[in-house]
């Protein structure tokens, strides 16, 4: 497989490279440049310091937050108390938000990636009348702003009494036009036509070919779309904000924003500050960890989307 | 099932796909529709139907007396003359013209630096710049809101320690810049990875020759690498256009901290939201959202067109 040009698609980069095909990597051109490295490290500081602040601030009591310097720890570490506050405030609603976020994100992402994989494969490998037209329509939808959709979707949902239910957040998140685009490009490079033909000659049905041959080849692309759909739903704020009224259905973003509004208004107890900060840290950690562990997927995925046009 | 029908095709070694058997071909087409159908159904229900419904709604007006009446383009005429809407669009245009070049410029510089192979700690640098993308926009806005804040924000603390006036991040004059900073912080890394991936797929031979001819790293970057990643730059620009005009999270969160600075029409999206859910002017909000979509399409199209022009010229 490595000998065919298809395998050299950027999408297929995650696979082991053939020794006889030295596509990658140019020999490192020149010695490391110290000045360049220092300049870049200074930039990295800009990107990381706010997160450092978040970590530091979440170890402080509310009083220390105001009385000690933001980027260094206070004398007593208050992280455990803060976490306890976060998870017990309002009868532990934060835990429900965390659960909701995970549930919405996982269900939407698996659904979106599944739908996009089947469709993207069909667009790439099975030629059918109307295919190009359908694909252009789907591509055009990438440009439709979410607001133009969210408000009418809200009205439609309220007619069928779907608002203020988890489905109101999950259903719109199942569509990922960009995911279809990505999977089409990916399938183009990762599924050799000869393999499909061989399976067909053997008498396998299209569905069987898809489930037993194609899915395995598309797995890295699937994970990429899954990851991006996961992030999109995890980070979504606008949609759940308008769809949901009951705090027990909120995801983290909407819940924390509400706590922040309360603490900014100064009506609640001031302890909300350290709770909002600690809660923010808790909601950031899962995605950061996911990105660190799934590096090769999102990197090759972004490559697929960006390189091909 | 129908192995026998396919068997003759297998005898010829080369590309039996070119002349597929009729029934086989038909089965393929049916299968293709079945694979596309689940996505397309959800697509229809969640994108196409709401879009048309929004267009339909925008042609009506709810009146105190007489209920909902058809008003044709009246909502659009009103929107075009509405200083809140136009002000928001212009503010986003300014945002676009200032923030997007900065963000994409930084992303490109970082990507080129990573691609030059002259960095120590490559991996750490790449991840460090990318990680903010994993932070939800709401959380980023919330966090920066505190960082900007007058009480326990580190900027204010440092200024206080030095006896300087604290920087007014959340004031009328600074707010847009402060929001630009939050967006830049969150998305430079994402764009950097796209551009970096594009750079890595540029065939090395293209600039080995230039190097042999004595071209320096900067010259290679300018004349060979940047033109080579133009498609990726176009993609990131268009995504940035779409994202900018839809700005909502950051202003909506910072509004709690500076209610007098960020009005209901600070961004078009915020305006549509407030119209629909606070004022209950659903029909007008639909028209605003529709117009905003139109603005995004036009600007994206202009960006694409000017990129193609440049391509042709070079």
Q: Averaged over B68-72, what is the pLDDT?
A: 89
In this predicted model, what pLDDT tens digit does every residue of B170-206 receive, in sequence order? 999 999 999 999 999 999 999 998 899 888 888 888 7
Predicted pLDDT of residue A8: 29
Is residue B17 predicted with pLDDT exceeding 60? Answer: no
Name the closest residue on chain A to residue B57, using Cα atoms: A152
In this predicted model, what pLDDT tens digit does every residue of B35-53 receive, in sequence order? 999 999 999 999 999 999 9
| pLDDT tier at A271, thresholds 50, 70, 90 | low
CB pairs under 8 A between A and B: 325
Output the six-digit token pair for B273. 């939201």
Is residue B1 predicted with pLDDT exceeding 90? Answer: no
In this predicted model, what pLDDT tens digit does every residue of B142-173 receive, in sequence order? 999 999 988 788 898 889 889 888 889 999 99
- Answer yes or no: are the C-beta atoms of B233 and B104 closer than 8 Å: yes
In the CATH scheme, what architecture does the domain A5-19+79-307 have? Orthogonal Bundle (1.10)
Residue from A142, A185, A208, A264 whose CB has the most chain B CBs within 10 Å, to mutate:
A264
B194 contact residues in A (CB cutoff 8 A): 302-303, 305-306
Cα–Cα separations (whole angstroms), residue B209 to B206, B225, B227, B230, B238: 6, 13, 16, 21, 33
Distance CA(A209)–CA(A216), nearest Å, equals 10
Phi, psi for residue B60 in degrees, rounded to 5: -120, 170
Distance CA(B288)–CA(B296), nearest Å, equals 12
Name the H helices within chain A.
Answer: 34-57, 62-67, 79-125, 131-141, 146-159, 166-173, 177-190, 193-201, 206-209, 215-235, 238-243, 252-265, 272-293, 295-307
Q: How close A91 gets to chain B, by Cα (Å)? A: 22
The tally of CA atoms less than 13 A away on the side-chain side of residue A77 is: 4
Is residue A145 predicted with pLDDT exceeding 90? Answer: no
Cβ distance of A309 and B256 shorter than 8 Å: no
Predicted pLDDT of residue A20: 37
Give the list of residues 6+ apart from residue A214 with CB closer than 8 angstroms, or none. Answer: A121, A125, A187, A191, A196
Cα–Cα separations (whole angstroms), residue B271 to A155, B112, B282: 17, 39, 12
Predicted pLDDT of residue B151: 78
Predicted pLDDT of residue A224: 85
Q: How close A258 gets to chain B, by Cα (Å)? A: 9
A74 contact residues in B (CB cutoff 8 A): none
Report the residue from B47, B142, B234 with minimal CB separation from A144: B47
The tally of CA atoms less than 13 A away on the side-chain side of residue B238 is: 23
Predicted pLDDT of residue B21: 58
Tokens 């660190």 belong to which residue? A292
Phi, psi for residue B63 in degrees, rounded to 5: -115, 155
Q: Give helix B22-43 / helix A79-125 axis angle, nearest 10°.
A: 150
Cα–Cα separations (whole angstroms), residue A44 to A6, A189, B128, B187: 36, 34, 6, 13
The complex's ipTM? Answer: 0.85
Give CATH for domain B79-313: 1.10.3720.10
Range(s) of chain B covered by CATH 1.10.3720.10: 79-313
**Ramachandran bin of A203, using left for φ above 0, alpha for ψ from -120 to 50, beta for the remaining angles:** left
Output the six-digit token pair for B49. 């139907």
């Amino acid at each position: 497989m490595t000998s065919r040009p298809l395998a050299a698609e950027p999408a297929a980069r995650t696979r082991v490279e053939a020794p006889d095909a030295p596509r990658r990597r140019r020999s490192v051109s020149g010695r490391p440049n110290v000045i360049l490295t220092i300049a870049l490290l200074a930039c990295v500081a800009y990107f990381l310091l706010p997160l450092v602040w978040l970590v530091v601030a979440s170890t402080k009591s509310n009083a220390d937050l105001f009385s000690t310097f933001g980027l260094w720890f206070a004398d007593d570490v208050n992280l455990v108390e803060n976490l306890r506050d976060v998870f017990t405030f309002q009868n532990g609603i934060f835990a429900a938000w965390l659960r909701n976020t995970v549930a919405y994100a996982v269900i939407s992402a698996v659904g979106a990636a599944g739908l996009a994989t089947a469709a993207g494969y069909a667009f790439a490998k099975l030629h059918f009348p109307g295919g190009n037209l359908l694909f252009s329509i789907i591509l055009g939808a990438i440009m439709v702003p979410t607001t133009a959709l969210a408000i009418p979707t809200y009205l439609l949902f309220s007619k069928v009494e779907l608002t203020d239910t988890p489905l109101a957040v999950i259903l719109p998140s199942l569509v990922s036009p960009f995911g279809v685009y990505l999977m089409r490009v990916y399938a183009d490079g990762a599924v050799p036509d000869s393999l499909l033909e061989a399976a067909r000659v053997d008498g396998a049905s299209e569905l069987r070919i898809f489930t037993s041959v194609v899915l395995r080849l598309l797995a890295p692309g699937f994970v990429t779309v899954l990851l991006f759909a996961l992030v999109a739903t995890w980070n979504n704020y606008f949609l759940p904000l308008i769809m949901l009224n009951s705090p027990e259905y909120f995801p983290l973003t909407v819940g924390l924003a509400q706590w922040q509004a309360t603490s900014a208004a100064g009506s609640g107890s001031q302890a909300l500050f350290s709770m909002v900060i600690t809660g923010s840290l808790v909601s950031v950690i899962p995605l950061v960890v996911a990105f660190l562990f799934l590096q090769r997927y999102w990197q090759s995925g972004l490559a697929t989307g960006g390189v091909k046009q | 099932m129908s192995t026998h029908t396919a068997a003759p095709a297998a005898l010829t070694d080369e590309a039996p796909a070119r002349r597929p058997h009729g029934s086989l071909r038909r089965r393929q087409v049916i299968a293709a529709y079945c694979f596309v159908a689940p996505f397309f159904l959800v697509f229809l229900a969640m994108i196409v139907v709401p879009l048309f419904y929004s267009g339909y709604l925008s042609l009506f007006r709810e009146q105190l007396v007489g209920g909902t009446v058809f008003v044709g383009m009246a909502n659009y005429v009103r929107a075009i003359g509405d200083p809140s809407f136009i002000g928001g669009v212009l503010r986003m245009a300014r945002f676009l013209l200032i923030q997007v070049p900065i963000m994409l410029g930084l992303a490109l510089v970082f990507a080129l630096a990573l691609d030059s192979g002259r960095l120590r700690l490559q991996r750490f640098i790449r991840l460090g710049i990318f990680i903010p993308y994993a932070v939800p926009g709401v959380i980023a806005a919330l966090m920066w809101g505190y960082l900007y804040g007058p009480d326990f924000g580190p900027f204010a603390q440092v200024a206080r320690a030095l006896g300087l006036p604290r920087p007014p991040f959340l004031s009328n004059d600074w707010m847009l810049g402060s929001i630009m900073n939050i967006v830049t912080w969150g998305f430079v890394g994402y764009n950097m990875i796209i551009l970096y991936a594009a750079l890595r797929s540029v065939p090395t031979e293209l600039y080995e020759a230039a190097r042999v001819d004595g071209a320096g790293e900067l010259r290679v970057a300018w004349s060979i690498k940047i033109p080579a990643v133009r498609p990726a730059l176009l993609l990131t620009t268009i995504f940035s256009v779409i994202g900018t005009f839809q700005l909502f999270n950051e202003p909506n969160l910072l509004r709690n901290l500076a209610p007098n600075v960020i009005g209901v029409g600070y961004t078009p999206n915020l305006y549509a939201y407030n119209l629909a859910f606070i004022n209950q002017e659903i029909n007008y909000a639909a028209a605003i959202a529709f117009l905003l979509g139109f603005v995004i399409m036009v600007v994206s199209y202009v960006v694409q067109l000017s990129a193609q022009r440049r391509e042709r010229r070079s």
